[in-house]
């Protein structure tokens, strides 16, 4: 095999060292290259108007091979200045010829071409590809985040709809809708205790085992008379008139405006969250308007009669103290006897609607539930144990575990019906003026949160479109850089080949 047939293989990373080791180019060419670039910058200030030149110089870093093309173009544009001796009188031509001469001195052009080629291969092209990959990842991330926002949006909408359904309103005009839905609160109470008669057997068992014949008085009253007024429960007779305190709904200024933002509401209300995650049915005295009654109940004597505030004098005569206003007790005496009265203040509320008596009702029914659970536990152990050591196991024959289990189910059903979310919301809405503002604020916050989620999703989608367009714009830049690098590689291979008797030169690790 002839020497000319042996190819010269040069790895890209070793190209510059290879040229220096064979003394084709000097070690330090930076000063010469800097001087050449300075002259190129000056020469570019005075260039003729030519389409080929404009295309060649646009977005291009001028190197030796570009200089040669520029000179060929100037030979056509500056041919009028050419003398009979073949020299050009144009200063433009002289400047570019000087630049070409400096490039060819000590093969500076080859050293610069190798430097540009290695930089493109190792940094420029990989960096551009990395940038494109990053843009693709950012696009996918934006789209994924936009898609992930569908879940919180659906959850917020679901919670908003659920709260509206619990309140029984549409949310268009909350103040008017709250007043309307509160009118149906008595019906909710009656519906919740329509089966309360079934707990009579449980009350009887409680009285039988505990020995408290008069225990659970409110439950007994509800079973016998239904959800009557507090007045009737206290005085054992229905009132002639009922003057229930007016409902007061307080809305902040922010919630009275249609387009106001819920976060700007100035009145912050405590939700009163209980252990079950719901809204507590207990309303503090500071949050309830008790009307004319105040915070005290009417005293009830042992025999069921009403204490009218009449003091007995030492003599047989009876004097009435007219300084005590009877209206403070929530009743009005008509005629000469006790023919009935007017229920006012808290006594005008029904037992389930009165904050104090509702709490007492819940205490009693939970007490009954706890008793039935304990009784069921004792009965179950009685059936499986031969050693009976219970203190509350008298009169076992009157009921068994199956009867108690059924009664317990009925009691739990009453508890569930009287403490459901809608009833608790409406109860607090009626007795806490600020609770209406709380609900309005909460609903508005949910609506604003949904809008924020939707706006964020639109921003992410727009950002994804912009990133995709930016990625697409880099495609021609990368293609142009790869094409320039391949041309540069071809020039370097040909130049080295000429120096070694036209042997084939392969620069390894080039552009893929």
Q: Same domain, yes or no, for 60 and 116? A: yes
Q: Is the pLDDT of residue 299 over 50?
A: no
Beta bridge partners of residue 318, listed in sequence order: 312
Q: Same domain, yes or no, for 35 and 122? A: yes
**Mean predicted confidence (pLDDT) in 260-278:** 38
Q: What are the C-alpha distances in Å from 7 to residues 3, 30, 118, 493?
A: 9, 30, 21, 11
Is 411 part of a structural domain of the chain? yes
Structure tokens at 222: 């509800």
Q: Are 336 and 353 in contact (CB under 8 A)?
A: no
90-108 b/e (C-beta count within 10 Å ≥ 16 → b): bebbebbeebbebbeeebb
Q: Same domain, yes or no, for 127 and 32? A: yes
The per-residue pLDDT for 384 is 61
Decide which of 430, 449, 481 is a domain's last residue.
430
Report for 180-194, 253-267, 463-477: range of highest mean pLDDT = 463-477
**Mean predicted confidence (pLDDT) in 231-243:** 87
Q: Same domain, yes or no, for 48 and 91? A: yes
Beta bridge partners of residue 279, listed in sequence order: 273
Is 272 part of a structural domain of the chain? no
Q: Same domain, yes or no, for 67 and 210? A: no
- In the chain, the percentage of residues whose pLDDT exceeds 90 is 29
Structure tokens at 169: 């309103």
Q: Same domain, yes or no, for 10 and 118? A: yes
Is 410 part of a structural domain of the chain? yes
Q: Is the pLDDT of residue 335 over 60?
A: no
Q: Same domain, yes or no, for 475 and 372? A: no
The per-residue pLDDT for 398 is 67
Of the given ranges (120-124, 206-210, 234-238, 386-390), which has the lowest mean pLDDT?
386-390
Summarised one tens digit per residue, pLDDT across range 419-464 is 888 888 888 888 887 888 888 888 889 999 999 999 999 999 999 9
Is 334 part of a structural domain of the chain? no
Of the given ranges (8-17, 193-202, 391-400), which has the lowest mean pLDDT?
391-400
Q: Same domain, yes or no, for 25 and 121? A: yes
Is 360 part of a structural domain of the chain? yes
Is 30 part of a structural domain of the chain? yes
Q: How many angstroms from the chain centroid is the CA of residue 273? A: 21
Q: Same domain, yes or no, for 424 and 470? A: no
Query: What string of DSSP letters covers 239-272?
Result: -SEEEPPPP-----HHHHSTT--GGG-S------
Per-residue confidence band for 512, with pLDDT thresholds at 50, 70 and 90: low
Class of residue 198 by CB neighbours under 10 A (exposed 0-12, middle 13-18, buried 19+): middle
Per-residue confidence band for 253, with pLDDT thresholds at 50, 70 and 90: low
**Mean predicted confidence (pLDDT) in 200-227:** 86
Q: Same domain, yes or no, for 126 and 33? A: yes
Q: Same domain, yes or no, for 362 and 484? A: no
Give the count of domains, the chain.
Answer: 2
Q: Is the pLDDT of residue 47 over 80?
A: yes
Q: Are 74 and 57 in contact (CB under 8 A)?
A: no
Q: Same domain, yes or no, for 118 and 46? A: yes
Of the given ranges (80-84, 306-310, 482-486), which has the lowest mean pLDDT?
306-310
- DSSP-assigned letter for residue 419: T
Q: What is the distance between the alpha carbons of residues 403 and 460, in angstroms, rounded to a whole number?
A: 62
Find where tokens 């808290």 sit: 346
Confidence (pTM)? 0.60
Is 213 part of a structural domain of the chain? yes
Is 240 part of a structural domain of the chain? no
The per-residue pLDDT for 256 is 60
Question: What is the domain extent for residue 357?
Answer: 188-228+350-430
């Amino acid at each position: 095999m002839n020497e000319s047939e042996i190819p010269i293989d040069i790895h890209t990373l070793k190209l510059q060292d290879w040229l220096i080791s064979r003394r084709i180019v000097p070690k330090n060419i930076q000063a010469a290259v800097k001087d050449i670039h300075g002259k190129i910058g000056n020469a570019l200030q005075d260039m003729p108007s030519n389409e080929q030149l404009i295309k060649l110089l646009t977005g291009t870093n001028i190197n030796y091979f570009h200089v040669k093309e520029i000179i060929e173009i100037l030979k056509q544009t500056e041919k009028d200045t050419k003398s009979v001796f073949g020299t050009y009188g144009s200063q433009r031509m002289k400047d570019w010829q000087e630049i070409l001469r400096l490039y060819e001195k000590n093969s500076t052009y080859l050293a610069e071409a190798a430097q540009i080629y290695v930089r493109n291969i190792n940094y420029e092209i990989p960096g551009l590809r990395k940038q494109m990959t990053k843009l693709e990842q950012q696009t996918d991330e934006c789209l994924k985040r936009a898609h992930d926002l569908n879940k919180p949006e659906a959850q917020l909408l679901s919670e908003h709809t659920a709260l509206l359904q619990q309140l029984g309103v549409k949310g268009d005009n909350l103040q008017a809708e709250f007043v309307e839905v509160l009118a149906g609160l008595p019906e909710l109470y009656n519906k919740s205790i329509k089966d309360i008669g079934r707990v009579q057997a449980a009350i009887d068992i409680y009285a039988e085992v505990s020995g408290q014949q008069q225990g659970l008085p409110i439950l007994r009253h509800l079973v016998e008379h239904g959800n009557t007024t507090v007045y009737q429960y206290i005085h054992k007779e229905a009132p002639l008139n009922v003057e229930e305190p007016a409902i007061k709904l307080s809305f902040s200024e922010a919630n009275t405006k249609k387009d106001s933002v819920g976060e700007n509401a100035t009145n912050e209300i405590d939700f009163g969250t209980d252990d079950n995650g719901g809204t507590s049915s207990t309303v503090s005295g500071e949050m309830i308007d008790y009307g004319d009654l105040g915070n005290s109940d009417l005293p009830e004597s042992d025999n069921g009669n009403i204490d009218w505030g009449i003091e007995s004098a030492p003599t047989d005569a009876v004097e009435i103290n007219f300084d005590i206003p009877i209206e403070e007790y929530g009743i009005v005496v008509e005629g000469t006897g006790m023919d009935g009265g007017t229920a006012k203040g808290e006594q005008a509320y029904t037992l389930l609607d009165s904050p104090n008596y509702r709490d007492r009702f819940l205490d009693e029914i939970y007490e009954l539930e706890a008793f039935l659970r304990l009784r069921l536990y004792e009965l179950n152990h009685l059936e499986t144990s031969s050693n009976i050591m219970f203190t509350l196991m008298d009169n076992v024959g009157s009921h068994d575990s199956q009867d108690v289990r059924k009664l317990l189910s009925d009691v739990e059903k009453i508890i569930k019906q009287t403490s459901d979310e809608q009833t608790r919301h409406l109860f607090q809405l009626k007795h806490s003026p600020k609770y209406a503002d709380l609900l309005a604020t909460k609903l508005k916050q949910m609506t604003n949160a949904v809008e924020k989620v939707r706006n964020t999703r639109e921003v992410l989608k727009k950002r994804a479109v912009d990133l995709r367009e930016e990625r697409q714009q880099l495609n021609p830049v990368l293609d142009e850089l790869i094409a320039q690098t391949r041309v540069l590689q071809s020039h370097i291979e040909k130049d080295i080949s000429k120096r070694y008797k036209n042997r084939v030169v392969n620069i390894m690790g080039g552009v893929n």
